[in-house]
Amino acid sequence: MKNNEETVLGTVLDIERFSVHDGRGIRTVVFLKGCPLKCEWCANPESQQLKPQIGFFRDKCAACMKCAEICPNGRLFKEQGKLDFLNCTGCMKCVDACYYGARIQYGRQMSAAEVVKIVKRDKVFYDNSGGGVTLSGGEMSMQPGFALNILKGCKSEGIHTAVETCGYSNWEQFSKILEYVDMLLYDIKHMDSSIHKAKTGVLNALILENAIKAAPLVKEMIIRYPVIPGFNDSLDNALALARFMKAKLKGVKRVDLLPYHSMGLSKCERIGKPYPFTLPYELSGERVQQLYELLKAEGLDVIIGG
Ligand code: SF4
Ligand code: SF4
């Protein structure tokens, strides 16, 4: 009989080997599709939708129109390979038809065993660098059975495991996943629930509640604070975060400041989605430094970048 690792399937956006971000040492980062939040500044908008989707790289397009010929909705192509994305059924026929690599498929179905097999290839590098695997997204807990089986498989191979999460998860499923997690990278985006909802689509209560419950269950937890100009870069918000951590997240001392970047903008164009975030002003190094100093003064270990 096949085990769960072989039978549980999920949708993977990408697998990035030899990453030195998203945890310690050399890591393989597995990006899963699907996210319950819709952060306006999202750096990976192609990860938000659970199912695979098409991406179009305009700068690679040679306007040969092979994609329009093969597409069941070919009449929807207006110029170059540009499609009315709303009517794309995601059949992916155009991906193979394009000789220029201008059309790509974001997301492919894999079994947990296939993912673990790829992760295992670099075990020697993890062992020598203190690295391992990181499950990222999207939000990995949108595919709870898949995430669980990848982590279980990696643990059984003696691989260090980290997950990046927005924390907006069903606790029953999330707590099962945590049993196989060594390092938890946990995003807290805003301490005010209504402001949180305005820019991410959800209130923050579940996220804060899950953070409190998760902290005692994992060996190591790092809070990640994406610093978004005009949204959460106020000193008041940073102070509220520091006080929450000190009062409620016992033993969690590290917070990583992740300054805003606009990489999501071009990615949105590729998937035919508007980029909803309007940058009110550039994030200054001085403001990041002020946040750093404030959090430090509250007794936290602060890293810029993380
Ligand atoms: S097949 Fe590729 S290169 Fe040709 S029009 Fe379509 S996207 Fe452009
Ligand atoms: S994936 Fe979308 S654009 Fe490509 S052939 Fe199918 S329906 Fe047409």
* Tens-digit pLDDT profile for residues 71-112: 888 777 767 667 777 778 889 999 999 999 999 999 999 999
Q: Which of 44-58, 65-79, 167-181, 220-234 has the lowest mean pLDDT?
A: 65-79
The band of 34, judged by pLDDT with boundaries at 50, 70 and 90, is very high
8 CB within 6 A, ligand 1: no
83 CB within 6 A, ligand 2: yes
Is a pLDDT exceeding 60 seen at residue 163? yes
The contacts of residue 114 (CB under 8 Å, 6+ apart) are none
CATH architecture type of domain 4-50+108-304: Alpha-Beta Barrel (3.20)
pLDDT in the model for residue 2: 62
ipTM over 0.85: yes
Give, for ligand 1, the residue of 57, 69, 71, 80 to mutate: max count of ligand atoms closer than 8 Å to Cβ: 80
pLDDT in the model for residue 178: 98
Is domain 53-106 classified as CATH 2.40.50.140? no
Rounded to the nearest integer, the mean pLDDT of the chain is 94
Q: Which of 46-55, 72-81, 167-176 has the lowest mean pLDDT?
A: 72-81
Give, for ligand 1, the residue of 98, 99, 270 to mutate: max count of ligand atoms closer than 8 Å to Cβ: 98
Residue-range domain boundaries for the chain: 4-50+108-304, 53-106
